[in-house]
């Protein structure tokens, strides 16, 4: 038994044999073509406007600063405005030209999207290592990730979801290897990749501790698991330590992620909050706070830190004084995040909403089917952890369908199980055909 487990642990990533190679090549070609084509269409649709989202402009600005060796700051005083992960990826584009075409960034995102597609395959194989009758699922998982409209959209917009998605899937893969009996190196990898993910999406900060908690619950607090959890924490801290040191140097304080927590929290908790993002209040609040600073003769060097604290305290105070309204907003945000179609006009008209719904509803049904099929497996619930985490986060902060997309990709392996289960049911419980096992059409 031990020897069999060890052999399985050394099993290579990917799909075996010629059919698997054909599947992989087809996935890469189709996924890249769809994403680059969608990027070109979106850029053409925007016309002279480079971006549809305000976040994109800040990433672009910071990437330019990094490429040109200028201070890492957005505007004059916002020195801890964005985590550096995504701007670092965009920075080489500014070595090619002073003002590179935004389409180049979208093409880079398309490559990252293909990486996410390919990572779904080994992730599915790890999930189903004890389910040989579901051998068709890994390739189907890749096709689901390739064709899902939400995954394509993540590669189109100049937003941090593009690099975050493969990091998330990589971390989940490392966690699956750890759950399958992998050694301490996989615990280190879970923490290290989690740290990379936080440097791209700061909101991911508490996910790795959540993984550690799941491991402790699963193992009933064994000494080995305590060691693994400690290794996760050490690796995550080591990866993030350069950012922490830099933040301490520029602010004189420990800042684990960014100084946008206060603004983001007030965006979600305030008298004007409706579940969507509207940062118009920031300039108004900043002007009032600067006036207070001038009257009191304070040093403007710590303005960014103090302003973040002020907005955070105002948001928390409002939520405490209006718990019913905060709860109602939480329900609204939940509905926005998991709505079949987008509420924002930025995503287009009825046709675009129909495309989003047609991609989301069947996938959600397959995920439910797959979850039921594998409901007794801890490994299955580990893949649902991103959805639970992101939902918990965005019933507090602002919400939209944008924030569910990485979690949907994480559940693509489960959806593939649902699809294979459905195919077998339609065939009257027969074993999969050779084409089904290879991930081809039934």
Q: How many Å apart are CA 137 and CA 130, to the nearest integer?
A: 13
Classify residue 4: in a domain, yes or no. Answer: no
Cα angle: 211, vertex 215, 219; to 5 degrees: 175
Q: State how many domains the chain has.
A: 1
Q: What is the pLDDT of residues 227-283, one digit of tens each?
A: 999 999 999 999 999 999 999 999 999 999 999 999 999 999 999 999 999 999 999
Classify residue 13: in a domain, yes or no. Answer: no
pLDDT at res. 71: 93
Q: Are 257 and 205 in contact (CB under 8 A)?
A: yes
Classify residue 390: in a domain, yes or no. Answer: yes
Measured between its terminal Cα atoms, the distance across the chain in Å is 34
pLDDT at res. 346: 63
DSSP result, 257-271: S-S-HHHHHHHHSST
pLDDT at res. 268: 97
Q: What is the pLDDT of residues 66-86, one digit of tens each?
A: 999 999 999 877 999 999 999
Walk along the chain (442 residues) and give the pLDDT tens digit of each residue: 344 444 344 443 446 677 778 889 999 999 999 999 999 999 999 888 889 888 999 999 999 999 999 999 998 779 999 999 999 999 999 999 989 999 999 999 999 999 999 999 999 999 998 888 898 899 999 999 999 999 999 999 999 999 999 999 999 999 999 999 888 999 999 999 999 999 999 999 999 999 999 999 988 888 999 999 999 999 999 999 999 999 999 999 999 999 999 999 999 999 999 999 999 999 999 989 888 888 877 777 788 999 999 999 999 999 999 999 999 999 999 999 999 988 766 666 788 889 899 999 999 999 999 999 999 999 999 999 999 999 999 999 999 999 999 999 999 999 999 999 999 888 876 554 444 444 443 3
- Residue 199 belongs to domain spanning: 25-437
DSSP result, 96-147: H-SS--HHHHHHHHHHHHHHHHHHHHHHHHHHTTT-GGGTTHHHHHHHHHHH
Classify residue 11: in a domain, yes or no. Answer: no
pLDDT at res. 143: 97
pLDDT at res. 47: 84
Q: How many Å apart are CA 11 and CA 19, to the nearest integer?
A: 18
Classify residue 412: in a domain, yes or no. Answer: yes
Q: How many Å apart are CA 157 and CA 55, to the nearest integer?
A: 10
Classify residue 19: in a domain, yes or no. Answer: no
Classify residue 10: in a domain, yes or no. Answer: no
Q: How many Å apart are CA 346 and CA 400, to the nearest integer?
A: 12
Classify residue 330: in a domain, yes or no. Answer: yes
pLDDT at res. 5: 40
| Core vs surface per residue 138-157: b (16+ CB within 10 A) or e | bbbbbbbbbebbbbbbbbbb
Note the pTM of the prediction, 2 decimals: 0.91
């Amino acid at each position: 038994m031990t020897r069999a487990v060890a052999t399985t642990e050394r099993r290579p990533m990917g799909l075996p044999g010629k059919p698997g190679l054909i599947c992989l090549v087809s996935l890469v070609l189709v996924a890249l073509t769809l994403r680059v084509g969608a990027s070109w269409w979106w850029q053409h649709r925007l016309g002279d406007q480079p971006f549809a989202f305000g976040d994109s402009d800040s990433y672009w600005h910071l990437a330019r600063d990094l490429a040109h060796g200028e201070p890492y700051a957005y505007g004059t005083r916002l020195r801890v405005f964005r985590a550096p992960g995504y701007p670092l990826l965009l920075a080489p584009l500014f070595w090619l030209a002073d003002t590179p075409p935004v389409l180049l960034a979208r093409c880079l995102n398309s490559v990252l999207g293909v990486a996410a597609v390919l990572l779904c395959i080994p992730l599915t194989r790890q999930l189903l290592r004890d389910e040989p009758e579901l051998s068709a699922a890994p390739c189907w998982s890749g096709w689901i990730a390739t064709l899902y409209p939400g995954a394509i959209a993540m590669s189109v917009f100049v937003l941090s979801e593009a690099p975050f998605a493969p990091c998330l899937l990589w971390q989940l893969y490392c966690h699956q290897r750890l759950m399958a009996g992998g050694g301490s190196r996989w615990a280190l990898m879970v923490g290290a990749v989690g740290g990379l993910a936080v440097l791209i999406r700061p909101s991911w900060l508490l996910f790795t501790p959540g993984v550690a908690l799941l491991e402790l619950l699963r193992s009933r607090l064994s000494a080995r698991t305590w060691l693994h959890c400690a290794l996760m924490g050490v690796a995550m801290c080591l990866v993030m330590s350069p950012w922490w040191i830099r933040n301490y140097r520029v602010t004189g304080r420990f800042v684990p992620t960014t100084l946008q927590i206060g603004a983001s929290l007030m965006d979600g908790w305030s008298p004007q909050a409706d579940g969507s993002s509207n940062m118009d209040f920031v300039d108004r609040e900043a002007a009032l706070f600067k006036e207070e600073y001038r009257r009191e003769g304070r040093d403007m060097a710590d303005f960014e830190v103090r302003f973040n604290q002020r907005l955070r305290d105002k948001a928390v105070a409002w939520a405490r004084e209006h718990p019913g309204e905060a709860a109602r907003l939480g329900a609204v945000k939940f509905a926005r995040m998991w709505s079949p179609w987008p509420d924002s006009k930025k995503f287009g008209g009825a046709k675009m909403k129909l495309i989003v719904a047609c991609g989301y509803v069947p996938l959600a049904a397959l995920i439910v089917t797959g979850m039921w099929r594998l409901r007794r497996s801890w490994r299955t619930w580990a893949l649902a952890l991103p959805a639970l985490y992101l939902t918990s986060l965005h019933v507090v902060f602002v919400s939209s369908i944008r924030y569910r997309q990485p979690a949907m990709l994480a559940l693509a392996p489960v959806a593939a199980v649902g699809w294979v289960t459905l195919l077998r049911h339609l065939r009257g419980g027969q074993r999969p055909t050779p084409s089904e096992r290879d991930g081809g059409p039934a």
